[in-house]
Amino acid sequence: MRVPDLVIQVAGIVAAIVGVVLTSGPELSGGASWRPVGLAVVSGLLFGLFFLAMDAGAETTP
């Protein structure tokens, strides 16, 4: 049985978000700001956009 691509993508997104929250645990429990979590989320999104751009570029290169 083949798992739909959307299910795998959603599972990856959930795993990434959980990983960001878990690695930022010390900052959150110490009463610090949400800035480290926000920066991690933004960097993760930009990392993903980089690979989308590389994929799009690979399709249009002669």
What is the rounded radius of gyration, in angstroms, for the C-alpha atoms of the chain?
A: 16
The model's confidence at residue 31, banded by pLDDT at 50, 70 and 90, is low
Number of domain units in the chain = 1
Whether 6 has a pLDDT exceeding 80, the answer reads yes
Looking at residue 1, what is its pLDDT? 72
Distant-in-sequence, close-in-space partners of 27: CB < 8 Å, separation ≥ 6: 33, 36, 37
What's the domain range around 41?
Answer: 5-60
Residue 50: the pLDDT is 92
For residues 41-49, give the mean pLDDT: 84
**pLDDT tops 70 at residue 25:** no
Look at the block and give the residue holding tokens 């590389």.
Answer: 54
Q: What is the pLDDT of residue 26?
A: 61
Return the number of other C-beta atoms located less than 10 Å from residue 24's C-beta.
19
* HSE toward the beta carbon, residue 30, CA cutoff 13 A: 7
